[in-house]
Amino acid sequence: MEDIDKIKKKKMEEMQKNASGPSHPIVASDDNFDQLLEEYPLILVDFWAEWCMPCKMFAPTVEELAQEKKGKIAFAKLNVDEARNTALKFNVMSIPTSMLFKNGKLVDKITGAVSKQMLKDFVERYE
């Protein structure tokens, strides 16, 4: 019976944390990437670079969806020039690339500066 209570308590804490999740993209790095995957059950990571014009065009889309999906999905931005190890680990060849992780595992990815509706449809398949 104690185990069930512990599980319930952990689930409640998780739900509360998710409900008050970030309303803006989190800055991801080589140092915190694994921690972010553990912390957020559903997280979309935008792989980008400062010099990439399509990335700059795509940034407001990520910002808007982070606000709209607060509590349901976390959003993170990973600068591939600053976090080379993570970009290499996931074989990022084109940017922007958005990767969706569920329970720490990569479940899907989409490449390019897609429309807000396309990105919304993409993430909602996994909510």
Residue of 42, 44, 52, 73 marked catalytic: 52
| Contact assessment for residue 77 and residue 28, using Cβ atoms and an 8 Å cutoff | yes
Q: Is 52 a catalytic residue?
A: yes
pLDDT digits (tens, 9 = 90+) for 50-73: 999 999 999 999 999 999 999 999
Eight-class DSSP state of 25? P
Taking only the tens place, the pLDDT of each residue in 75-114 is 999 999 999 999 999 999 999 999 999 999 999 999 999 9
Residue 14: predicted pLDDT:
62
Domain that holds residue 22: 2-124
Q: Supply the pLDDT for residue 46.
A: 98
Given the residues 55, 66, 73, 99, the one annotated as active site: 55
**In the chain, how many domains are there?**
1
CA dihedral 102, 104, 109, 114 (to 10 degrees): 70
φ, ψ (nearest 5 deg) of residue 91: 55, 45
Report yes or no: 95 and 119 within 8 Å, Cβ to Cβ. Answer: no
75: domain CATH number is 3.40.30.10
Residue 21 pLDDT grade (very low, low, confident, very high; cuts 50, 70, 90): confident
Determine the 3-state secondary structure of 88 from DSSP: helix
